[in-house]
Amino acid sequence: MTLPIHDLKGMVRLLFFCLLFSLVVCSAETREKKFVQIFLPDGFAVTAELAVTDEERQLGLMFREKINPDQGMLFIFEEEGIHSFWMKNMRFSLDILWLDKDKRIVHVERNVPPGKKPPYPSYSPVYPAKYVLELKAGSIDEHKLKVFDRLEFVLKDGDIPRNQFLEFQGSVL
């Protein structure tokens, strides 16, 4: 029994899209995580995992079992804005700090509990932020962090999100 040509083309297309989908999924899963050292005003160093892409920012620390006192996650946005966070699928409480483009703290939320069930509360800064740092709950008080304190860290060019449309046009922000 032979397949009609149009069925064969359909099968080839389906196989192609399955292969393409597999490549995208595998590349996302094997993407190397990036980290940055962040120095708090008291000199304490935090190793923060970077969340740069939309997917990384959406996933955040969801489903993780714990975070150590010297660990965190730094969310990097293309522009300053009012970036809201929630605690869906979190298993532990966090301290959340919003930082402006100059890496100064513009807003803090202490001991933010995991979301239990919808609707999940949303946490937003009062002022625009370019970065958001999630730390183990209690870190803000332990290190006496406050609004207007400046954190120190250096990002490499590849760690900075870019406007994809402008990159496509051959420009870089």
Q: What is the arithmetic mean of pLDDT over 94-119?
A: 97
Q: What pLDDT, on a 0 to 100 scale, did the predictor assign at position 138?
A: 98
Q: What pLDDT, on a 0 to 100 scale, did the predictor assign at position 32?
A: 83
How far is the C-alpha of 139 from the C-alpha of 116, rounded, in Å? 22
CATH homologous superfamily for the domain 35-164: Protein of unknown function DUF192 (2.60.120.1140)
Q: What is the arithmetic mean of pLDDT over 27-48?
A: 85
Is residue 170 predicted with pLDDT exceeding 60? no
How far is the C-alpha of 39 from the C-alpha of 141, rounded, in Å? 16
Q: Which of 18-22, 70-74, 118-122 has the lowest mean pLDDT?
A: 18-22
Longest dimension (CA), the chain: 76
The model's pTM: 0.75
Under 8 Å between Cβ of 73 and 61: yes
Residue for token digits 């250096």? Answer: 154
User: Between these two residues, 152 and 16, which has the higher pLDDT value?
Assistant: 152
Residue ranges per structural domain of the chain: 35-164
**What number of H helices and E strands is found in the chain?**
4, 6
Write the CA distances from 96 to 6, 14, 16, 161, integer angstroms: 56, 44, 43, 21
